Chain A
Amino acid sequence: MSTVTHAVTDSATMLRRQLRHMLRYPVLILTAAGVPAIFLLLFVYVLGGAIGSGLGGSLGGSAGGRAAYVNYVVPGIVLMTVATSAQSTAISVATDLTTGVVTRFRTMAIARVSVLTGHVLGSLIQTMLSISFVTGVALLIGFEPTADLGGWLGVVGVLAMITFAVTWLCVALAMVTDNVATASNLPMPLMILPMVGSGLVPTDSMPAWLRWFAEYQPFTPFIETLRGLLTGTPIGDSAILAVGWCAAITLGGYLWARRLYNREPTG
């Protein structure tokens, strides 16, 4: 029992360390929130008119055009925010593990994985803040969610679940190499996946081969669940698929990350 309490208190300590880092060096957070916000503006104002009219009724809204497209694209952009935040977590994990203080942690009688849990919990908070910012921008440019309080709680829960999973995966990716530059690029596909899913356009507008991929990759059920909760589109079996994917990614990412962290440091 005391090992569990130690793991909790040590993780809380590491989380405090992480929050101090964020407050002192907010550049990573600003990037993680700023990039998706810019993408949102680009998609809505540069492409939104054309895509919205082109897709017409398949967007589900009656209004069509740019206004309908805002409602369609926000869930995808929100998941892009999750991905950019996870990427910034990968950078900070990779950087952190090269520092002497983490070597010190390894020689201390603390819950070993707490170094990583601190990063993941810190990232969870950071991602939620970034998502709030991006959602705020979306509301300002005409996003009209229909969710009630229960719906919003569901949104927060689903986003926390996805962020948790993706972050553990990125923590592991950050430790695959000793090189910070490589570590920062490995999570790049996560940025692309929302686009190669139902994030920007419905998958039935894609060529058959791509559509197959788009429908079976995890970000599509993530997006569909989120879209359903926010704007009332049908969710179907997306919710249960999203939970399954998240459980698998979290477990895989966690075990992989733990194994990589416990590797004997080289040199």
Chain B
Amino acid sequence: MTANHRQPAVAATAVRKAYGDHVVLDGIDLDIPAGSVFALLGPNGSGKTTMVRLLSTLIRADAGDLRVAGHDVAREPDAVRAAIGVTGQFSAVDHLLTGAENLLLMADLNRLPRKERRRCVAELLERFELVDAAGKPASTYSGGMLRRLDLAMTLVGRPRVIFLDEPTTGLDPRSRRTMWEIIRGLVADEGVTILLTTQYLDEADQLADRIAVLYQGKLVATGTPEELKRQVGGGHITLRFADQRGYEHAAGVLEVVSRNDAAFTLQVAGQGDVRSLRALLDRLDRASLAVEELRVHTPDLDDVFFALTGNPVGTPLGKSVSSSVAEQEPAR
């Protein structure tokens, strides 16, 4: 992806926001080049949504500077509003209107030339696969359809900067992939700048050029997905053995990252790609080691936060019970 470095599309300097004693954002600096996708990654309550609300002129910062598309958010809110599109965590569609009426409402409010309004609506319905549902009230839409309509409404105004607040939270895996495709298409076809917030490392990894990790109102890391994953330390493979003998033997043969003597499990470094897995399996074969269970562990948000803050996030992310025994002990 080519990034335009002439002027940042979004720039934040020392931004602070507190509600009473509760500091939500504590000195945030951001610099998002035009034409790039930036992910703000963080758990619930880390301040992601507050950041989006500040940038989209919904609330005011207590301190610091915010600029979007070259305009100061506090001093020229209308210029900022004209340049942005926001798709929030909670659907910003009129549930009493039909899909087509919602889009037409946006066309009217964006004051598109009269002749273009119907065409614009028809195009977006087509592009977001909502043609069949166009005449039905939005209250009857599924979660995925609502999210698509929501984003389509955002696009009516042809925004240069788009804020997507948790665009796939609550969607099923298939709708999630569809959203990803749409977001990628936006950047490729229209060259917009996107700031998205997410709780999912893989989503940030899939979509973003750069990621900033937000934790308790502070940015704890910023970098490309690769840089971030390097910091996290990559994945590992967990091997469980049936008995002490095989376990000790393997521990002598393999480059072990950590071990759990009680559960007969070893962890070895590895990203889980076929080549390194095959190499590992070959070595196990040559040494005639019988492995009871093999698990590939790719780094997830837990690992990111553990690596960056030393605190695990309290959200379980698809870990099985058997793995929790094996993985609690080792130092990461």
Question: Does the CB pair B109–A13 fall under 8 Å?
Answer: yes
The number of residue pairs between A and B whose CB atoms lie closer than 8 Å in the complex comes to 61
Question: Does the CB pair A104–B157 fall under 8 Å?
Answer: no
Decide yes or no whether A189 CB sits under 8 A from chain B: no
Q: Mark A90-109, 1 if CB is under 8 A from B, else 0.
A: 00000000011101111111
Decide yes or no whether A211 CB sits under 8 A from chain B: no
Query: Which of B60, B81, B96, B101 has a CB less than 8 Å from the CB of A107?
Result: B81
Decide yes or no whether A16 CB sits under 8 A from chain B: yes
Give B residues with C-beta under 8 Å from A.
56-60, 78-79, 81-82, 84, 86, 88, 90-97, 101-102, 105, 108-111, 137, 153, 157
Q: Which residues of B contact A108 (CB under 8 A)?
A: 81, 109-110, 157
Decide yes or no whether A20 CB sits under 8 A from chain B: yes
6 extra interface residue pairs, beta carbon distance < 8 Å, beyond A99-B94, A107-B58: A9-B111, A10-B109, A20-B96, A106-B57, A108-B110, A109-B79
Query: Which of A13, A21, A104 has a CB less than 8 Å from the CB of B96?
Result: A21
Question: Does the CB pair B59–A25 fall under 8 Å?
Answer: no
Question: Does the CB pair B56–A107 fall under 8 Å?
Answer: yes
Would you list 30 pairs from A and B whose C-beta atoms are within 8 A, ordered by A residue?
A: A9-B108, A9-B111, A10-B109, A13-B108, A16-B108, A20-B97, A20-B101, A21-B96, A24-B96, A25-B96, A99-B94, A100-B90, A100-B91, A100-B92, A101-B95, A101-B102, A104-B88, A104-B153, A106-B57, A107-B81, A108-B81, A108-B157, A109-B78, A109-B79, A109-B81, A109-B82, A110-B109, A264-B60, A265-B58, A265-B59
Whose C-beta in chain B lies nearest to the C-beta of A100? B92
- Count of A interface residues, CB-CB < 8 Å: 23
Decide yes or no whether A17 CB sits under 8 A from chain B: yes
Q: Mark A24-54, 1 if CB is under 8 A from B, else 0.
A: 1100000000000000000000000000000
Query: Which of A10, A24, A103, A109 has a CB less than 8 Å from the CB of B88?
Result: A103
Q: Which residues of A contact B97 (CB under 8 A)?
A: 17, 20-21
Q: Which residues of B contact A101 (CB under 8 A)?
A: 92-95, 102
User: Considering the chains assembled together, what is the distance between the CA atoms of A13 and B101 in angstroms?
Assistant: 11
Whose C-beta in chain A lies nearest to the C-beta of B56? A107
User: Considering the chains assembled together, what is the distance between the CA atoms of A9 and B109 in angstroms?
Assistant: 8
Whole-angstrom distance between the Cβ of B77 and the nearest chain A Cβ: 9
Question: Does the CB pair B88–A100 fall under 8 Å?
Answer: yes
User: Considering the chains assembled together, what is the distance between the CA atoms of A99 and B60 in angstroms?
Assistant: 21
Whole-angstrom distance between the Cβ of A105 and the nearest chain B Cβ: 8
Whole-angstrom distance between the Cβ of B39 and the nearest chain A Cβ: 20
Q: Which residues of A contact B94 (CB under 8 A)?
A: 17, 99, 101
- Top 8 closest A-B pairs, CB basis? A104-B92, A100-B92, A109-B82, A109-B81, A13-B108, A101-B94, A107-B56, A107-B86
User: Considering the chains assembled together, what is the distance between the CA atoms of A165 and B58 in angstroms?
Assistant: 29
User: Considering the chains assembled together, what is the distance between the CA atoms of A121 and B63 in angstroms?
Assistant: 39
Q: Which residues of B contact A16 (CB under 8 A)?
A: 108
User: Considering the chains assembled together, what is the distance between the CA atoms of A24 and B81 in angstroms?
Assistant: 30
Whole-angstrom distance between the Cβ of B110 and the nearest chain A Cβ: 8
Interface members, chain A 1-17 (any B CB < 8 Å): 6, 9-10, 13, 16-17
Interface members, chain A 168-210 (any B CB < 8 Å): none
Whole-angstrom distance between the Cβ of A144 and the nearest chain B Cβ: 41
Query: Which of A9, A25, A100, A109 has a CB less than 8 Å from the CB of B93?
Result: A100
Whose C-beta in chain A lies nearest to the C-beta of B82? A109
Whole-angstrom distance between the Cβ of B263 and the nearest chain A Cβ: 45
Whose C-beta in chain A lies nearest to the C-beta of B87? A104
Whole-angstrom distance between the Cβ of B136 and the nearest chain A Cβ: 12
Whole-angstrom distance between the Cβ of B114 and the nearest chain A Cβ: 11
User: Considering the chains assembled together, what is the distance between the CA atoms of A25 and B102 in angstroms?
Assistant: 16
Q: Which residues of B contact A17 (CB under 8 A)?
A: 94, 97, 105
Whose C-beta in chain A lies nearest to the C-beta of B50? A267
Whole-angstrom distance between the Cβ of B197 and the nearest chain A Cβ: 15
Whose C-beta in chain A lies nearest to the C-beta of B77? A109
Whole-angstrom distance between the Cβ of B224 and the nearest chain A Cβ: 29
Whole-angstrom distance between the Cβ of B74 and the nearest chain A Cβ: 12
Residue among B57, B58, B88, B109 with most chain A CB within 10 A: B109
Question: Does the CB pair B108–A107 fall under 8 Å?
Answer: no
